[in-house]
Amino acid sequence: MEILYTISTNYIKLWIFLLLTLTKLGDNSLILDEDAPKYGYTGTICGIGDMDKDGYTDIIALTEDEIVIRLQSETGVFYNKTTPRNLPTGSAKASCFVGDFNGDTIPDILIVSERDADVFNVTVVFFNDTVKFDFTQKVLNISLYDEPIIVDVNGDGIADVVGFDSANRNLVCFTGGSNFGVESCSGLFSSPSLSGKDSEESLMPKKSFPHIFADFDGDMRADLIFGMKNYNDTLVLVMYVKSEAHNRWILQKNAISRIPSVFDEKNLASPVISDFDADGNLDIAFPVCSDSRCKRIEKFLIWSNKIGSGVSKFQALTSGGEWYYITIDNKETELAGIDDNKDVIFRVGDFNLDGFPDLIAVAKINNGDHPIILENIECSGCENVTRKFEMKTTQRLIEPSDMSVGKVVLAAFFDLKEDGNLDIMVEYMNKNDASIKHDFIKCDDKGDTTFLKVQTHTNVCQKDCPGRKARDFGSGIPWHGACVSYSMTDSWNNLKVSKKCQLSQTNQKTLQGPYVLFGLGRSPNFIDIIKFDGPFNYEYMVKAKPYELPQIVPNSRIVAVPPRKPNNPWYIRLYLTPSRLILQSFIVLAIVCMLLLFSAGILHLRERQQDKREKNSQHQRFFFDAM
């Protein structure tokens, strides 16, 4: 009996070891699905967005002078099933913006193509459905100075376009709706010319600046920040805030202070926006380059408005905020060179899901251009700051074979399969024929980290929307500028807070996903409260307050639909994703139970056999005694 028990126990240990080994191998596998093309997808990444409203982010690719829509499946593979498949752009260099521009809750594509250095043409493709993708086209009768930003300036849930006129550099705005491109919304801005901000100067838009639509005054409503320059080419950030009393965008002259002379950096690259120190306030981070081509990054220049409790909105808009530095470790690492210091170098996302957003760029590693992660880590010895960035040069990402021998041009975070784990989308040049392709580096294994993923839909349609299935919820169109914040207590009884705004930067190929993703680390605690708000139309939503949702479990995906009228409620749908460690534990527990039952069965059978032999021996002994 003891020998049999020992053997059964060893078998159980062996099975558990094999199961955990196989599970771990599956988690660390960075190979794409078998259905994915072995040598990547052809074309340049023009933009991303959910084109068929199935909840999976799709890719709009540019091949020569045509647009191709690739739809993502549940397995993370992209298929070109659109009819017609190709959309003319008229230019080999274009950017694509996804949004609902005519109010029919069907995703459309705004194509911005560069005609000359300071002249951009705008074409909008209106789709009629999400299956065949039949469409009509409309060309705006105005040329822009640079790529516009997609926002919702009037709060009707329909995407609007804001940019600068190529002729006079004045701010121009086009309202989304049935008359898109005809109705101007420039009258909603108090100073559309942006001249005379100070009596001694006029401001001009800064070229290739990714403008910002996010909350910086603490009211959970997105504000507009434009990158401008003065007479001596110095960067000036200009903020517009929507007035609740007048329902217009008012220029706030003192909201953002000028860069102090001690921070006067000449080589500032394009900024990224996130809550880098997780204090509940959004930060604008400018990479400080060592040269005009930005081959090396010395540090980051940060602007933030540290709004504490009890600070009024008036104080937030008159304090000017503060400027400070965040340092970088391994800053001697050389980045891939760019034509000038205006291009977008970094893109943001919480890659390791620890609650502190990281950055991704392209660096020269082993005589080649490859993606590199700048991890946001704690800095105990830093002056006046708590975080710093560290380039993970030793942590080499496992790339597909065709990508690893090619030249990487662009890298961005991308949530394949919408599972809350950020993967990496890469655009690269093929080694053999110098063609441009794009592919993905799958990064599923993030340990037992948890997340919170929120997508706020537009309120144009709340139920039974076109292009949606009966079981689907909301319009399926992400609301530009919708802001989300959360607060919770971690395992060490520390308060964790953070805030993000949906699609806060849309131009210059920042490639932000149509959602908000927070990393929660390894805390098993409930999220205490989640707040939702957006750029409402104050004419109809008088004194609207942020909606609060208490006690939410980690690994949740939330779809929120805001109200159309003051008395209407928010519609919330919650989807839960079990932790990988929990699933593994359940599998191991089930197998252990099965093995224990099997061992008990063997022991019971062996015991019955021994009882039978003992009874037979007793019968034989009784028979011989009788004889």
Is it true that domain 450-578 has CATH number 2.60.40?
Answer: yes
pLDDT in tens, 260-302: 988 867 789 999 999 999 999 999 999 998 887 888 888 999 9
3-state DSSP assignment of residue 242 = strand
What are all long-range contacts of 54-57, with beta carbons under 8 Å and residues at least 24 apart? 55/418, 55/476, 56/417, 56/418, 57/414, 57/415, 57/418, 57/513, 57/514
pLDDT band at 99; cut points 50, 70, 90 = very high
- Predicted confidence at residue 362, as pLDDT, reads 93
Count of CB atoms situated within 10 Å of the CB of 397: 20
pLDDT band at 482; cut points 50, 70, 90 = very high
- Predicted confidence at residue 73, as pLDDT, reads 93
Q: Are 459 and 236 in contact (CB under 8 A)?
A: no
N- to C-terminal Cα distance for the chain?
Answer: 35
Mean pLDDT of the chain: 85
- Predicted confidence at residue 15, as pLDDT, reads 45
- Predicted confidence at residue 48, as pLDDT, reads 98
Taking alpha carbons only, the member of 537, 585, 590 closest to residue 188 is 537
- Predicted confidence at residue 197, as pLDDT, reads 45
- What value does the mean pLDDT take over residues 365-377? 91
What percent of the chain stands above pLDDT 90? 54
Rounded CA gap, 618 and 3, in Å?
A: 25
What are the extents of the domains in the chain?
A: 2-25+582-626, 43-441, 450-578
Is the pLDDT at 5 greater than 60? The verdict is no
Rounded CA gap, 232 and 493, in Å?
A: 50
Rounded CA gap, 508 and 163, in Å?
A: 12
Residue 608 DSSP one-character state: H
> Domain 43-441 carries which CATH code?
2.130.10
- What value does the mean pLDDT take over residues 472-491? 92
pLDDT in tens, 178-202: 889 888 898 899 877 765 444 456 8
- What value does the mean pLDDT take over residues 132-145? 91
Decide the pairing of beta strands 135-139 and 149-151.
unpaired
pLDDT in tens, 611-620: 788 877 777 6
- Specify the pTM: 0.86
Read off the amino acid at residue 220: M
* Tokens linked to 117: 């250095």
Kindly report the length of the chain.
627
- Predicted confidence at residue 382, as pLDDT, reads 85
**Spatial CB neighbours of 546, under 8 Å, sequence gap ≥ 6:** 220, 531, 532, 533
CA torsion through residues 311, 314, 316, 319, sign:
negative
Rounded CA gap, 58 and 95, in Å?
A: 15
Class of residue 194 by CB neighbours under 10 A (exposed 0-12, middle 13-18, buried 19+): buried
Taking alpha carbons only, the member of 455, 461, 516, 481 closest to residue 242 is 481
pLDDT in tens, 234-268: 899 999 999 888 889 999 999 999 999 888 677 89
- Predicted confidence at residue 610, as pLDDT, reads 85
